[in-house]
Amino acid sequence: MTNRFVPFVSVLLAASLLSGCGAVGRLKNVGKPPKMSVAEDPVAPRLEPSLGNHSVDDQALAGGGRTPEEGRGASLFRTGGGAFFRDQRASRVGDIVTIRINIADNAQVANSTTRTRNGSESGGIAALLGLESQIPKILPGSPDPGNLVSTDSKSSATGVGNTTRSEQINMTVAATVIGVLPNGNLQIRGKQEVRVNYELRELVVTGVIRPEDIARDNSIKHSQIAEARISYGGRGQLTDAQQARWGQQIYDALFPF
């Protein structure tokens, strides 16, 4: 009996160790603030400055002037020169656009269902060429031929459902254009992290926007983002305190009752 019990205990210990791998990682961070993720390399293709842009690149400062290739390509109206002749709204890969998130959603759904059904059936053979006299001999219990079948059924169901939901997020985040679709729409992605003491707040926004929807101040509303994915959350000591213990989560997932 003991030999059979040892493998079972070993399996339980192995499962506990595997389930507690997340706890080991948390032990390493005791007394430390949550680490911020590494910033991704910005997507910024090189653009040749135009004569309308008074800024000078590093190469011009180091060599005392622009190279011949740059000089021949320089133009007052060159696209991407950043001069006052160009629309300053985001339109190309690497440009930055401001996303204004103002979510104030309220939803309330109420359903009520009531169903009632009644049914009754009765049947008998009062006379059938004298054959009805043979029915008591065939059926047990001395049945009455005039009242052979009698059924009565009744069913009733009542259902009531009510759902109320309210969400509100109001913030602003800068996103980068990471791609231009063939039809001219822009793929954007923005991520923002703010750490206060031992709590890290994260905001991630991705989606597709139309250049025509970008306002004059180079901003766009979240409601104008197609395929929008907005993630707002955090990690840290306060978030961990709000989570159930990993043992309790496993118990809730496996306990069938």
Asked whether the predicted pLDDT for residue 141 surpasses 80, the reply is no
At 46 the pLDDT is 66
Question: Is the alpha carbon torsion for 87, 91, 96, 98 positive or negative?
Answer: positive
38-52: b (≥16 Cβ within 10 Å) or e: eeeeeeeeeebbbeb
Asked whether the predicted pLDDT for residue 144 surpasses 70, the reply is yes
* pLDDT average, residue stretch 109-117: 89
Structure-model confidence comparison of residues 127 and 44, the more confident one: 127
Mean pLDDT score across all residues of the chain? 77
Taking the C-alpha atoms of residue 244 and residue 250, their distance in angstroms, rounded to an integer, is: 10
Asked whether the predicted pLDDT for residue 35 surpasses 80, the reply is no
Q: Measured over all CA atoms, what is the biggest interatomic distance in the chain, rounded to whole angstroms?
A: 128
192-202: b (≥16 Cβ within 10 Å) or e: beebeebbbbb
At 63 the pLDDT is 46
At 92 the pLDDT is 87
Asked whether the predicted pLDDT for residue 61 surpasses 50, the reply is no
Residue 214: count of CB within 10 angstroms of its CB: 20
Closest CA to 228 of 213, 247, 250: 213
At 253 the pLDDT is 83
* pLDDT average, residue stretch 50-76: 47
Taking the C-alpha atoms of residue 202 and residue 191, their distance in angstroms, rounded to an integer, is: 7
* pLDDT average, residue stretch 64-89: 55
At 62 the pLDDT is 43
Taking the C-alpha atoms of residue 193 and residue 235, their distance in angstroms, rounded to an integer, is: 11
Query: pLDDT per residue over 3-31, tens digit each?
Result: 555 555 565 555 555 455 566 666 676 66
Cut 0.85: pTM above it: no
Number of helices (H), then strands (E), belonging to the chain: the values are 7, 6
Q: Beta strands of the chain (E only): which ranges?
A: 96-123, 149-180, 186-196, 199-209, 219-221, 226-236
